[in-house]
């Protein structure tokens, strides 16, 4: 579910033909309209972006004179980046075709920062003008607030630091972002704050696709991964996801569609929509391809079969969805895939060299196995799901409720 930006240019007080007529009734109004360019003493906005794999810190300064499409876009973006809801811009340029100038500047400003863009909602612009100057009033609604954005920045910094994410390879940074969001978020519109915002993902652990993608955008940027926020459709409804750049190539990452619905526990991550090329994603997603870079490389297609996984050392142990959910493992460096055991598994998790799973070759009962595929044993003779391990206990769900055992 996606909430799109809506722009409404409401009012033109003096249309262009009026300049030529200048009737006795209009002339006093024109003379009384005091529109001048003034010095602006606002502080610069600090921004972070990723260009060719390099994290770039820059300042956005409010333009000294707003008199072109570009400087008007600069001024608008300054206010958008502060998440200001009501602001006025004094425009000192030529006001012929002013409506077009405002629309172009508005769109340029909206596209300046993917994270800001994704949080823009309804926009109402009114303006009055003479031949050489104009006053532009903007009312902008957002899906978040400046305070919430500050909270997102602080929380993401803490998450990345506590997981030592900055030390990971670029591939593992992207995987970490996907995994963190999937493992800590439930797809839902039942939220206190906007389900379309990154803040709600972190604050409530719930959101829709827009929240997933915007949090991913923020995390990827802080990790130095170049990425884009993509707007399109999936399943016939509005949808949002990300494009990420890895080793010079662009790939799609849809964390929302990597999150099983209904939620199946914190260990359950799919990779069916992880580092995909255009041709693969286009089977069930649509987007304006001309607006985004092409994604044509498929070297990470091996990840798309991985589901219900546990990562230990050089291997990822997982339920192979394309082979009756048998237990397999993937060597992360060589990309080699091999069957571990002729056992159908789901909800795979682990602790050290031991795997725990719902054994669908034996009634979905809770079972344990060494990572080599040996020493299988039955732990609980009940159908279990949603396995995860915390503080030395294995938690799981049965028809009789949530349970735990010490491991």
| Distance from C-alpha of 214 to C-alpha of 256, rounded to nearest angstrom | 11
Say if residues 96 and 104 touch (Cβ distance below 8 Å): no
The closest of 173, 240, 227, 215 to 49, measured between CA atoms, is 227
Q: How confident is the model at residue 209 (pLDDT cuts 50, 70, 90)?
A: very high
Q: Is residue 93 part of a domain?
A: yes
A 10 A CB-CB count for 51 gives: 9
Cα-Cα end-to-end distance for the chain: 40
Residue the block writes with tokens 């546990």: 310
Mean of pLDDT values over 66-84: 95
Does residue 149 lie in a domain region?
no
Cβ-proximal residues to 150 (8 Å cutoff; 6+ apart), any chain: none
Give the model confidence (pLDDT) of 282-331 as tens digits. 999 999 999 999 999 999 999 999 988 898 889 999 999 889 999 999 99
Q: Taking a C-beta distance cutoff of 8 angstroms, is the pair 200, 206 a contact?
A: yes
Instruction: Tell me how far apart the alpha carbons of residues 141 and 84 are, in angstroms, rounded to a whole number.
Output: 8
Measured CA to CA, the distance from residue 117 to residue 76 in angstroms comes to 12
Domain membership of residue 202 (yes or no) is: no
Domain boundary pick from 92, 117, 142: 142
Whether residue 173 lies inside any domain: the answer is no
Q: Residue 316: name the closest of 340, 280, 343 by CA.
A: 340
Give the DSSP letter of residue 42. Answer: P
Q: Are 187 and 261 in contact, with CB atoms under 8 Å apart? A: yes
Sign, CA dihedral 314-316-322-323, equals positive
44-65 tens-digit pLDDT: 555 555 555 565 555 666 777 8
Q: Verify that 124 and 261 share a domain, yes or no.
A: no
Tell whether the model's pLDDT for residue 136 goes beyond 70.
yes
Burial class of 391 by CB neighbour count within 10 A (0 to 12, 13 to 18, 19+):
exposed
Q: Is the pTM for the entire model greater than 0.85?
A: no
Looking at the 3D structure of the chain, how many domains does it have?
Answer: 2
Whether 370 and 354 have beta carbons less than 8 Å apart is answered as: yes
CA distances from 227 to 47, 54, 164, 237 (A): 15, 12, 20, 23
Q: What is the pLDDT of residues 357-405, one digit of tens each?
A: 999 999 999 999 999 999 999 999 999 998 989 899 999 999 999 999 9
Band of the pLDDT at 33, cuts 50, 70, 90? very low
pLDDT tens profile 218-270: 999 999 999 999 999 998 899 999 999 999 999 999 999 999 765 555 556 88
Rounded-to-10 torsion of CA 279, 282, 287, 288: 40
Single out the residue in 107, 142, 177 at which a domain terminates.
142
**DSSP assignment string, 102-125:** HHHHHHHHHTS-HHHHHTEEEEEE
Does residue 234 sit in the same domain as residue 112?
Answer: no
Q: What's the pLDDT at 48?
A: 53
Residues 230, 210 contacting (CB under 8 angstroms)? no
65: tokens are 């004179």
- 15 and 138 together in one domain: yes
Average pLDDT for 13-21:
31
Other CB atoms within 10 A of residue 388 CB: 17
What is the span of the domain harbouring residue 300?
223-406
288 and 384 within one domain:
yes
Of 88, 110, 142, the position where a domain reaches its end is 142
In whole angstroms, what is the distance from residue 239 CA to residue 4 CA? 10
């Amino acid at each position: 579910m996606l909430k799109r930006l809506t722009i409404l240019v409401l009012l033109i007080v003096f249309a262009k033909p009026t300049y030529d007529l200048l009737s006795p009734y209009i002339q006093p109004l024109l003379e009384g309209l005091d529109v001048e360019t003034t010095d602006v003493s606002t502080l610069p906005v600090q921004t972070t972006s990723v260009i060719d794999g390099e994290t770039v810190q820059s300042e956005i300064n409010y333009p000294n004179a707003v008199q072109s499409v570009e400087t008007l876009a600069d001024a608008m973006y300054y206010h958008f980046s502060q998440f200001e809801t009501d602001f006025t811009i004094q425009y000192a340029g030529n006001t012929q075709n002013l409506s077009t100038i405002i629309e172009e500047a508005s769109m340029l400003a909206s596209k300046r920062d993917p994270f800001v863009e994704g949080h823009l909602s309804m926009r109402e612009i009114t303006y009055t003008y003479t031949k050489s100057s104009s006053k532009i009033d903007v009312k902008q609604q957002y899906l978040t607030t400046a305070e919430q954005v500050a909270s997102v920045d602080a929380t993401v910094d803490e998450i990345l630091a506590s997981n030592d994410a900055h030390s990971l390879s670029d591939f593992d940074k992207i995987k970490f972002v996907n995994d963190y969001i999937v493992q800590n978020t439930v797809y839902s519109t039942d939220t206190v704050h906007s389900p379309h915002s990154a803040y709600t993902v972190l604050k409530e652990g719930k959101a829709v696709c827009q929240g997933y993608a915007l949090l991913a955008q923020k995390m990827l940027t802080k990790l130095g991964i170049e990425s884009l926020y993509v707007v399109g459709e999936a399943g016939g409804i509005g949808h949002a996801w990300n494009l990420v750049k890895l080793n010079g190539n662009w790939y799609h990452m849809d964390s929302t569609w990597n999150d099983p619905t209904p939620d199946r526990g914190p260990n359950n991550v799919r990779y069916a929509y992880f580092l995909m090329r255009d041709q693969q994603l286009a089977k069930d997603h649509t987007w304006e391809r001309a607006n985004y870079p092409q994604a044509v490389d498929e070297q990470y297609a091996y990840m798309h079969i991985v589901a219900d996984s546990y990562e230990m050392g050089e291997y990822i142990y997982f339920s192979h969805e394309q082979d009756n959910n048998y237990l397999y493992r993937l060597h992360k460096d060589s990309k080699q895939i091999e069957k571990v055991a002729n056992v159908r598994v789901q909800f795979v998790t682990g602790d050290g060299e031991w795997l725990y799973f719902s054994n669908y070759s034996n009634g979905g009962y809770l079972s344990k196995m060494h990572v080599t595929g040996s020493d299988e044993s039955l732990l609980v003779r009940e159908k279990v799901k949603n396995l995860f391990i915390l503080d030395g206990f294995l938690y799981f769900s049965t028809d009789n409720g949530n349970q735990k055992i010490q491991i």
